[in-house]
Amino acid sequence: MLERRWLVVVLALSLTGLGAAITGLLFTSGVNLLRDWRLDLLDELPAWLVLPALGGFGGMVSAWLVTRLSPAAGGAGITHIMGFLRHRPVPMGLRVGLVKLVAGIIAIGCGFPLGPEGPAVQMGGSVAWKMSRWLRAPVAFRRVIVAAGGGAGIAAVFSAPIGGFIYAIEELLHSARPVVLLLVLITTFSADTWADVMGGGGLSSTIGFQLERQYTPLVRFLPIDLIYLIALGVVVGVLAELYTRYVLTMQRQGSRWFGDRLILRMTLSGVVLGCVYAALPETFHNPSELKHLIGAGEADINLALSSFVVLFFCTGLAAGSGAPGGLFMPMLTLGGALGLTCGTWMQSLTGYVPTTYVFAGMGAFVAGCSRTPISAMFLAFALTKDLLILKPILVTSLTSFVVARLFHPHSIYERQMGMELDSEERMEKQLNRHRRPFSAPIPPQSSKGDLS
């Protein structure tokens, strides 16, 4: 089949990479724009007024878009693609992707502490599905194209083509056939390339492709580090499973308390989150700056520990509200804060701590929640682009993965899938009841008198 239609499949994958890059860049740019506007408002008005008002307004508008236009655009989005790949009857297409784009920008930009990776996976998968339909790609390869689109979304947002490639194989497809590996690899690297081109001045740019590092830590890996990294992996694995159960509990309680009233649910959640952040120091008002302080190791133990506690509970509340946003970015920050905290304690107890504890904690927390240690390793690696850091991250990620699996074999997304898809199906049915189905007008019947 591929030999006869290889050009169509390659064209669909190439356009999928381009579409994933465009939607990923639009999403991050929109979120950054709203975030900067929110920070400007905080310079002029008190936080107790701005943050609850913006949180409630953003939650209401985002929920209205999801409820009225595309219920499948709510939640993280990864479970939606996973459901499609497991042959669940879930809505796909550009409508879902566009609603996810706008609603996610509004929710995250107005203060919901979620990340862009979940929407990026769903938007990339939606674009891939539409491209495969438009180009009439072979049905046997449409699942591969959709999974490749999800991986391309990760690659575009994180600038991590290998991480997106591994995630599509490890979490979405569970397949390692050579042809599948090649097709997914083409898509994720094309998405990352297009993201670099469009984000760096276009084709006329004279700067060229460069290796961008968000962080440049001093990486040193000694044999004694293995003991410290395994110990960190055990701690992170336990807390990652605890975080997973907390997020799932918040989602269940939200469904129990509010049912399908997503607008009320997200509005109240936005107000509560705004009130919480208004009561915190200014450092917490900018999640990107907080993540940078933790990643660069510039946060002290009080800030690192308080960041972990605040993000632990607030991201669970945001995810439980049904807001369109992902958890990978919060997981990375949580793991980094945990690694920094444990590193400080280890330094005071033993007089030594590995230099890789922060990024090892990042990868370990993602691995413990998502049960994808290889993807977690490459996502954390993408922040530094330092090959020497791969080994310590892998040791901690594998340890966290094993420890978390002792409590439950499935990832947070596998456990979320049934819950979120059932809620989307109920909202879709409710939306369809309010739509007027088109029916052709019935032609008037001629009477016998007319015939005569």
Confidence grade of residue 74 (pLDDT, cut at 50, 70, 90): confident
265 and 187 part of one domain: no
**Beta carbons within 10 angstroms of residue 223's beta carbon:** 6
Q: Determine contact, residues 94/260, Cβ cutoff 8 Å.
A: no
326 - beta bridge partners?
115
Q: What is the mean pLDDT of residues 374-400?
A: 91
Whether 322 maps to a domain, the answer reads: yes
Residue 448, pLDDT above cutoff 70: no
- 410 in a structural domain: yes
238 and 103 belong to one structural domain = no
**Cα 257 to chain centroid, rounded:** 25
Contacts of 76 (CB under 8 A, 6+ apart): 118, 122, 319, 324, 325, 326, 327, 413, 416, 420
Same-domain status, 145 and 244: no
**Domain contains 396:** yes
Together in a domain, 129 and 230? no
Asked whether residue 208 is assigned to any structural domain, the reply reads no
**Does residue 223 surpass a pLDDT of 70?**
yes
In a domain, 219, yes or no: no
Do 157 and 280 share a domain, yes or no? no
149 and 253, same domain (yes or no): no
pLDDT of 446 higher than 80? no
pTM score, two decimals?
0.86
Last residue of a domain, which of 396, 414, 432?
A: 414
CATH number at residue 319: 1.10.3080.10
- Whether residue 18 is found in the same domain as residue 84: yes
- Indicate whether 239 and 143 sit together in one domain: no
Indicate whether 111 pLDDT > 60.
yes
Q: CB neighbours (10 Å) of residue 63?
A: 27
Name the band, by pLDDT with cuts 50, 70 and 90, for residue 243: very high
CA distance 189 to 75: 27
Burial of 365 (0-12, 13-18, 19+ CB in 10 A): buried
pLDDT, residue 422, reads: 59
The residue written with tokens 């960190």 in the block is: 232
Which whole number is the average pLDDT over 31-42?
Answer: 92
Arithmetic mean of pLDDT, 81-91? 85
Yes or no: say if 335 and 366 are a contact pair by the CB < 8 Å rule.
yes
Confidence label for 201 from pLDDT (cuts 50, 70 and 90):
very low
Calculate what percentage of the chain has a pLDDT beyond 90: 44
Q: Does one domain contain both 105 and 146?
A: yes
* Residue 311: predicted pLDDT: 94
The pLDDT mean for the chain works out to 85
Does 381 map to a domain?
Answer: yes
Predicted local confidence at residue 210, as pLDDT: 55
417 contact partners, CB below 8 Å, separation of at least 6: 79, 82, 83, 86
Distance CA 433, CA 336 (A): 46
Residue 379 lies in a domain: yes
Domain count, the chain: 2
Task: Say what the pLDDT of residue 424 is.
Answer: 56
On whether both 194 and 64 belong to a single domain, the answer is yes
Print the domain residue range for 26.
Answer: 2-199
Q: Give me the mean pLDDT over the 27-43 stretch.
A: 92
Can you give the pLDDT at residue 213? 67
User: Is residue 133 pLDDT above 70, yes or no?
Assistant: yes
> Same domain for 88 and 187?
yes
pLDDT at 23 over 50: yes
